[in-house]
Chains A and B, each alone.
Chain A
Amino acid sequence: MGSYILRRLIVTVPMALIVITLTWGLIRLAPGNFYMSDKALPAAVERNIKEKYGLHKRWYEQYGRIMLSVLCGDFGTSLKYEGQSVNEILWRTLPVSATLGLLAYALALIVGIFAGTLAALKQNHWPDYAAMTLAMLGMSVPNFVLGPLLVLIFSLTLFWLPPARWGGTPSWNLVLPVITLAAVYVSYIARLARVELLEVLRSDYIRTARAKGLSERRIIVRHALPGALLPVVSFTGPALAFLITGAVVVERIFALPGLGNYFINANLNRDEPLIIGIVAFISLTVLIFNLLVDIAYAYLDPRIRLQTQIVNRG
């Protein structure tokens, strides 16, 4: 187990550095500069700006400086939000995005597993068809269509919920963004849970449990579900990467001051330190979560550990 974690860690750290390098390279290769505006700057001003941001140095010196700042966890000062360090912005926006993401994922897990279980137990009956059609709908309606439609119905027509903006953690403002963000994952998890449960229900150990005369409820809850839900656990990793993409859109729609919204603004403003900071932060989070999920999975499912051992020996 220890060596498994170590091996995964060895892959994870360079990966984060590669993502940051790629982002840095894209920004560097792109035509133009962040300080260029419509009219040309006087040469002296340009020289001063270059000196201030270290742009007069060779590319490897600049790269080294960026990497050093990333390793130190200090991303410098934002170009657009004057006087604010990137770290300040990260720490201010993180709670917004994290709350949104965690609530959406929790909602997706609860509703998805419930719907998937229901569909599997009533396979080829109307609850199954209804749940799977809804799931397909959830996968097909883009969140930037779903969100505004919910706003149109619940805020602008019925006046039940606020349409946008952040109102602290326990607030009605969260309801619509969380539902919008969760819709896709509810669908994915419901489909996944259904298929896995159907497969498990056909397996030998469930037949044994039935033969022992256990109640159907006990068979499902104690025997079938834990096995069927393992793949749902492993979906957490990819889901996080999707959640971040989704959060970018949802934060934009609902004007929430989260990481995603700032990331888009940083791109539009060409706020290079902020872009690098957010990319570094997001990719590290995603990679660490993937690592944790893999470890949890290996812990929960002994077959994985066995498999890696066999692969290593063979």
Chain B
Amino acid sequence: MPDGQSTQGKESKRRRLFANASPGARAWRRLAKNKLAVMGLALSCIIALASLVGPEIIERTTGYTYEYMPRDPQLMKSFAPFTGPDNSFSWQHPMGTDNMGRDLLVRVLMGGQISLMVGVVSATVSLLIGVSYGATAGYVGGHIDGVMMRIVDVLYAIPYMIIVIVLLKFFGGSSFFSGYGLAAGGSELILLFVALGAVSWLTMARIVRGQVMSLKHREFVLAARATGVSTPKIIFKHVVPNTLGPVIVYATLTVPQVMLQESFLSFLGLGVQAPLASWGSLSAEGIRNIAIYPWQLIFPGMTMALTLFSLNFLGDGLRDALDPQTRKF
């Protein structure tokens, strides 16, 4: 520890900051000191909010929706950003239009809704599976734990996306799910949620298991067991809430991963189907026209990159704040 007046000043300031604070409040303050993480949090919130309310606002003010096409065939072509029909400056389409003359800004925002929804829902699915599996393995221990974790080891080695591609291709058509009252494109979305959630829970299971193993011999668990609480209740009521820190961290990092995977699939034409659009499918459309209309790729692609960038920074910051022990990787 270096000496000196300033260090002492810092030390006492630190003590004041952290005195009488709950672990949650302390973690929050640590996060708030990390500029990059705060920036990430702010940016993700802005993008999420814009995606949620943006399309509605644009529709009310200009009448554009993600499937709105102009009646005039002259307008059914791709305009550059901020360019009107006669090549003059115009505020009408800040991101330009696609080949059908649809406003790209609305489409990017709508795509954001879908992409973020897939990310959050699939991450939740993976969270539920991973936490239950890892907590059970860690708490029960012994041979059951051995077998359960060996299964996870083995599953790690499978090239999932290959199977997910087959799954989406063959069950993606709405014919399989039709009759369940789903809107067009709904069956792909549900398949995406389940498929992506089901393949991304492995790391979560490992993390939770490690946490639970270190917790299960603590006094509060012993006390719960002594008072006759059932095992499932001990696992989910007493042990799991104490693993929340690493779980939040990893769940935050799962969201961008899942979004990336969704965009791969949509890019390949297997994920989100028209008329719905996600950042991946919008980018795929844009790539076809990259030589002539580069904005069709640049805007959806860069919005997505920016979102993933901020979510990753947020996850990293949360890890530093909540879970300093875990490796940064």
Contact = CB atoms under 8 A, between A and B. Distances in A.
B159 A252 contact: no
B186 to A, nearest CB: 17
A144 B304 CA distance: 11
Interface in B81-125: none
B312 A136 contact: yes
Contacts of A11: 150, 154
Interface string A210-253: 00000000000000000000000000011001001100110011
Contact of B170 (A26, A241, A253): A26
A299 B41 CA distance: 43
B297 A140 contact: no
A72 interface: no
Given A139-B312, A145-B302, A279-B162, A195 B171 contact: no
Contact of A152 (B154, B270, B294): B294
A194 B327 CA distance: 11
Contacts of B162: 23, 244-245, 263, 278-279, 282-283
B176 interface: yes
Given A11-B154, A264-B165, A287-B157, A248 B268 contact: yes
Given A145-B302, A263-B165, A267-B165, A282 B159 contact: yes
Interface string A261-297: 0011001101000010011001100110010000000
Contact of A195 (B146, B305, B309, B328): B328
A268 B170 CA distance: 9
A263 to B, nearest CB: 7
Contacts of A268: 169, 269
Pick the most buried of B167, B175, B268: most chain A CB atoms within 10 A of its CB.
B268
Contacts of A137: 305, 309
A142 interface: yes
A136 B160 CA distance: 24
A27 to B, nearest CB: 6
A253 B166 contact: no
B290 interface: yes
Given A145-B301, A195-B328, A30 B170 contact: yes
B308 interface: yes
B159 A238 contact: no
A104 interface: no
Contacts of A145: 283, 297, 301-302, 304-305
Contacts of A149: 297-298, 301
Tier of interface size on chain B:
35 or more
A245 B305 contact: no
Interface in B291-325: 291, 294, 297-298, 301-302, 304-306, 308-309, 312-313, 316
Contact of A22 (B146, B163, B165, B302): B163
A152 B157 CA distance: 36
Contact of B175 (A31, A141, A195, A290): A31
A286 B173 contact: no
B296 to A, nearest CB: 10
Interface string B234-275: 000000000000000000000010001001100111100000
A152 B290 contact: yes
A49 interface: no
A140 B308 contact: yes
Contacts of B298: 149
A238 B166 contact: no
A303 B154 CA distance: 21
A237 B157 contact: yes
A186 interface: no
Contacts of B158: 15, 19, 241, 283, 286
Nearest to B300: A145
Contact of A191 (B269, B287, B313, B328): B328
A283 B157 CA distance: 8
Which of A27, A32, A142, A191: most chain B Cβ within 10 A? A142
A32 B171 CA distance: 10
A205 to B, nearest CB: 20
Interface string B270-285: 1000000000100110
Interface string A121-164: 00000000000000011011110110011011000100000000
Q: Which of B150, B267, B284 is most buried by chain A, counting CB atoms within 10 A of its CB?
A: B267
Interface string B199-229: 0000000000000000000000000000000
Nearest to B290: A148
A142 B287 contact: no
A192 interface: yes
B263 A144 contact: yes
A23 B163 contact: yes
A28 to B, nearest CB: 9
7 contacts: A140-B256, A149-B297, A152-B290, A188-B329, A194-B328, A245-B159, A282-B159
The 9 closest A-B pairs by CB, nearest first: A30-B170, A145-B301, A140-B308, A140-B309, A245-B161, A290-B157, A267-B169, A141-B305, A241-B159
Given A15-B154, A141-B309, A241-B158, 15 more contacts: A12-B157, A23-B166, A26-B166, A31-B170, A139-B312, A140-B312, A144-B267, A148-B287, A156-B291, A192-B329, A238-B156, A241-B160, A245-B159, A245-B161, A245-B264
